[in-house]
Amino acid sequence: MHYPMSGSQTNPLHVDFCGLSLTSPIVLLSGCVGFGEEYTRVEGFSNSDVGAVVLKGTTLEPRLGHRPRRMCETPLGMLNAIGLQNPGVDKVIDEILPGLDFSETRFIANICGSTIDDYAAITRRFDDSPIDAIEINISCPNISEGGVHFGNVPEMSARVVAACRAQTNKPIITKLSPNQTDIRENARLCIEAGSDAFAVINTVMAMAIDIEQRTPVLGNVRGGLSGPAIKPIALLMTLQVHEVSKPHNIPIIGQGGITTPDDAIEFMIAGAATVGVGTALFYEPLVCPEINAGIAAYLERHDMASIAELVGSMAQ
């Protein structure tokens, strides 16, 4: 299902997200489509079917990532421990971004750092680029604080957001971790620090064991669990963040196990303005047109003119 790139009047799936005009509420998630070109090789796939693409996580310097094995399938999900393998921010900006077609969809950078200064420096580099928005992956260890993940401590999360905010006027999306005590407090402090939007949620820490070898399946021992297995967790946390973000008109990318139109609609009812699709692409790369069509049919069936009428509409 293709809609024109402009004009919400003819497109029921149009979303205004942080001032960006999206032709679909679907956002392809970081790490699942490389740097925006991988899925364009799949016959029948088009970036025009999605509202935005989040590029692979980018660090200040190139990274090789974790040792194999890096991925494995689990019941109703997938574990990954890639380790942020990427060529570094300079190569992404100088060599990868020029090859992307910004007329097809919006492209969002995903940034990762080991220190607050890292995050600030990467944001400053992307600020002087054609990228449409910047997603902050705060689920990274803070090497100056003993390896505690920035995203698991609200005050640390807010410091990262504030440092990035000082470097750019582009929309900042904070990707919240589920591996924390109170995601609402984290969201509240990130809003105060200048976050324009949230991505809810990142993967859940988990592991798998090879019982014959009695060793961890993943080379890094633990990894991030994604897919339908985490959907109920992501749905609840989307609702919780929406309670905090709604008074400030801060939109949410709801993500975690979305594989069908019904999944996407659930997240919207809980408060998500857009929905992230990731793991589903690994076994059904053409799922996005199906989700678009299902959302459009739901809106028509319920006499809704736009997705905005659906967002946060859960009856109390």
In eight-state DSSP terms, residue 29 is P
Q: How many residues does the chain have?
A: 316
% residues pLDDT > 70 (the chain): 95
| Buried residues in 24-41 as b, exposed as e (16+ CB within 10 A) | bbbbbbbbbbbbbeebee
Instruction: Answer whether 200's CB lies under 8 Å from 238's CB.
Output: yes
The residue with greater pLDDT, 6 or 299, is 299
Residue 5 has what pLDDT?
Answer: 42
Domains of the chain with bracketed CATH: 8-60+84-205+226-309 (3.20.20.70)
**Rounded Cα distance, 144 and 27, in Å:** 33
Tell me: pLDDT of 9 over 70: no
- Assess contact for 275 and 27: CB atoms under 8 A: yes
Tens-place pLDDT, residues 107-166 = 999 999 999 999 999 999 999 999 999 999 998 765 555 556 888 889 999 999 999 999
Positions marked catalytic: 140
Q: If you average pLDDT over every residue of the chain, what do you get?
A: 93
Model confidence pLDDT, tens digit, residues 303-314 = 999 999 999 999
Q: Which amino acid, residue 169?
A: N
What DSSP string runs through 44-77?
T--GGGSSEEEEEEE-SS-B--PPSP-EEEETTE
Nearest to 88 by CA among 107, 106, 65: 65
Residue 255: predicted pLDDT: 98
205-226 mean pLDDT: 97
Q: What is the largest CA-CA distance in the chain?
A: 59
Q: Report the distance separating Cα 130 and Cα 146, nearest Å.
A: 35
Q: What is the pTM of this model?
A: 0.94
Where residue 161 falls (left for φ over 0; alpha for ψ -120 to 50; beta otherwise) is: alpha
Q: How confident is the model at residue 38 (pLDDT cuts 50, 70, 90)?
A: confident
Whole-angstrom distance, CA of residue 260 vs CA of residue 17: 22
CA distances, 154 to each of 53, 161, 186, 312 (Å): 27, 11, 4, 24
Local confidence band at 187 (pLDDT 50, 70, 90 cut-offs): very high
Please state, in angstroms and as integers, the Cα–Cα distance from residue 155 to each residue in 132, 163, 181, 189, following that order.
Answer: 27, 12, 13, 7
Chain position carrying tokens 């410091």: 159
Would you put residue 19 in left (φ > 0), alpha (ψ -120 to 50) or beta? left
Between the two ends of the chain, the Cα-to-Cα distance in Å is 33
Nearest of 186, 172, 184, 194 to residue 242 by alpha carbon? 184
Helix 261-270 to helix 287-301 angle, to the nearest 10 degrees?
60
Strands (DSSP E) contained in 157-196 are 172-176
Contacts of residue 33, defined as CB under 8 A and 6 or more positions apart, other chains included, come to 39, 53, 56, 281
Give the span between the Cα atoms of 169 and 175, in whole angstroms.
Answer: 18
Look at residue 77 in the predicted model and tell me its pLDDT: 96
Read off the pLDDT of each residue in 264-293 and give the average, rounded to a whole number. Answer: 96
pLDDT of residue 197: 98
Q: Would you give the DSSP letter of residue 43?
A: T
Which CA distances in Å does 14 have to 105, 150, 166? 12, 33, 30
Element (H, E) at 289: helix 287-301
